[in-house]
Structure 1
Amino acid sequence: MSSDRAAAARSTVMHVRCPDRLPDETYRQVLEQLAGLSPVVQALPPSAALVELKGALRYHNADARHLGEILRVRTISRLGVDVRIGIGPSITVAATASAQVEAPGGVLAIDPDHAAAWLATLLVDPLRGVRHSGHDAHLAQLPAGTLLDLVRDPGNQVDPNAIHVQHQGVFLGWIAREIARPLALALDEEPAPRIYVQLTTDARSIAQQNGADQLHGRDAITLTVMIAPQ
């Protein structure tokens, strides 16, 4: 098997997620540690980065998970910073994997053969900003299983990865910030994977029994996101 075919059969995309509100200088130092593993590094300010590992796997004669663990040891010992690392065959898989690693840090590597099944269902908990959407009355009419749409909100001044959740063009709220970055990366990919979203919570029943105000709670509404890779 040629080296290119061998690389294609392995997960070679690494997504690194630093702690929130990391100082700019420390973030720059983390990027320097990444460059020590691979020359192909893309900064994703303010606190993340992508690394292509194809050449690094051959150079270091190590698998991707081992390189992730090496990176953690270096950032912890040299910078006092732990990182969350996702590794996969695509940006979508790697970024989604890093979001699933619990703080303060760890490595989650997804094998290419299992990527589609792993991405098939991802719970997002919860829907944010229902009160501020101004359309809780519309949400109150929707039962569990209702299909929703994701629309990028790149002009958002608070979070450049912000994503609107809509139903038939009606804005209902935002994807939770914790999961917005990997989904934003997925939506921005060319070609983008197919992403389906549906209500997990029966908003209609909650509203009928307790009133639409009960939909405003921080943990009141949950979604299910289903991702079909390219």
Structure 2
Amino acid sequence: MTILCVRFQLPPTREAALPELLGLLEEFTPVVEALPPDGALADLRGAERYFGRDAVELASVIRVRALALYGVDCVIGAGPGPMLARMALRDARPGLTRAVPGGGERAFLDGKPVAALPGVGTATARTLCEYGLDTLGRVAAAPLSTLQRLVGAKAGRELHEKAQGVDRGRVVPNGVSRSLAADRPFDRDELDPDRHRRALLSAAGDLGARLRAVDKVCRTLTLTVRYADRSATTRSRTLSEPTAHSAALTRTAYDLYEALGLQRARVRSLALRAESLTPAEHASHQLTFDPVDEKVRRIEEVADRARAKFGPRAVMPGSLAA
């Protein structure tokens, strides 16, 4: 086991602490890949030799130091590669590292549903299940030619390898990209989808206004849903073009939310994060020749001027003013 996948249990108000926590990981290895808003991958191959400890022992040290220095607990998965470490993280609990030992990949994977494999979406999982390939063990045992007929040549080969525990991923060192976040906590655990959508509308409008105020556009939008049991789901989407347009951000936020398929979920908070920010002057905008779109953008400019003069709540959608 040489790769750790760490998720720090950061409350929304402390997500800005991630760079400091990445610095903690970098005390053990320079090969750290940030996974905003609250996670990271760390390659410990050199660290295991240097410190004379295995990945699980180093994970315990990291957990203790994060608690002692920053008051932040974390959950950690360990595995021979990034994919397996990420999957192990899903089974981890605070105070206990879930580890997949080298040679134990098949034992770990075989009983898991096919949808648990990273990169397998809803449509692919449905297709595989229709042919009885509902677990990774059955996918691994299936002939490669069968998988390629079902999902395509390249995807079938990758699926076959991953189901057998072949993890070709690498940890790519990076920094935490500059980002802006808007969090919308609820007064109580919220079940109502309409209130969820209102929170997303508010957060997307806030992000758009702040991006335009600093002349930035974002390339990626990330939605984090936190539940009553303190678990969380994070989904990201790359936009078709970099934007600071509130309507485009809202549409993407709604799409991310709908894709989760939440049913009677008790939601504690919703957070949107605009990532991969670039100067607005360097961004291109595809002309639509849509008079409605142009009108909305002009209204947005007027609303921004009103907010700058009278405050952020001077202009807002009617559904939020009710």
Q: Write out aligned runs for 1:170-189 (5 A).
A: 178=233
Can you give the 5+ residue segments of structure 1 that lack an aligned partner in the other structure? Answer: 1-10, 126-138, 150-154, 161-175, 185-214, 220-230
The one-letter code matched in structure 2 to 1:12 is T
Report the equivalent of 2:15: 24
Bigger relative contact order, structure 1 or 2 (CA pairs below 8 A, ≥6 apart)? 1
Is 1:40 paired with 2:27? no
The one-letter code matched in structure 2 to 1:108 is R
* Offset from partner CA, 1:161-204 (integer Å, 9 cap, x none): xxxxxxxxxxxxxxx964979xx9xxxxxxxxxxxxxxxxxxxx
- Structure with greater helix percent: 2
Change (3 A) 1:120 1:143: closer
1:156 is displaced (CA, Å) by: 8.1
- For the 8 Å contact 1:99–1:178, the answer to whether it is kept is no
Can you give the 5+ residue segments of structure 2 that lack an aligned partner in the other structure? Answer: 116-125, 135-149, 152-218, 225-230, 238-260, 266-322
Change (3 A) 1:217 1:88: same
Distance of 2:8 and 2:102 partners within structure 1: 24
Report the equivalent of 2:104: 114
| Larger displacement relative to structure 2 (72-81 or 20-29) | 20-29
Q: Which has the larger radius of gyration?
A: 2
Is 1:94 paired with 2:85? yes
Report the equivalent of 1:70: 61
Change (3 A) 1:120 1:177: farther
- For the 8 Å contact 1:98–1:108, the answer to whether it is kept is yes
Secondary structure of 1:112 counterpart: coil
Report the equivalent of 2:146: none
1:99 is displaced (CA, Å) by: 1.5
Report the equivalent of 2:5: 15
1:110 is displaced (CA, Å) by: 1.0
1:92 is displaced (CA, Å) by: 1.0
1:25 is displaced (CA, Å) by: 3.3
Secondary structure of 1:159 counterpart: strand
1:158 is displaced (CA, Å) by: 4.6
Change (3 A) 1:122 1:177: farther
Distance of 2:30 and 2:130 partners within structure 1: 49
Report the equivalent of 1:159: 223
TM-score normalised over the length of structure 1: 0.51
* Offset from partner CA, 1:84-113 (integer Å, 9 cap, x none): 1111011111011112113x4431111011
Distance of 1:122 and 1:180 partners within structure 2: 21
Identity of aligned residues (%): 30
Number of aligned residues:
143
Change (3 A) 1:110 1:25: same
Q: Among 70, 86, 96, which residue is 1:79 paired with?
A: 70
- For the 8 Å contact 2:2–2:45, the answer to whether it is kept is yes
RMSD: 3.9
Change (3 A) 1:180 1:158: closer
Secondary structure of 1:94 counterpart: helix
- For the 8 Å contact 1:17–1:49, the answer to whether it is kept is yes
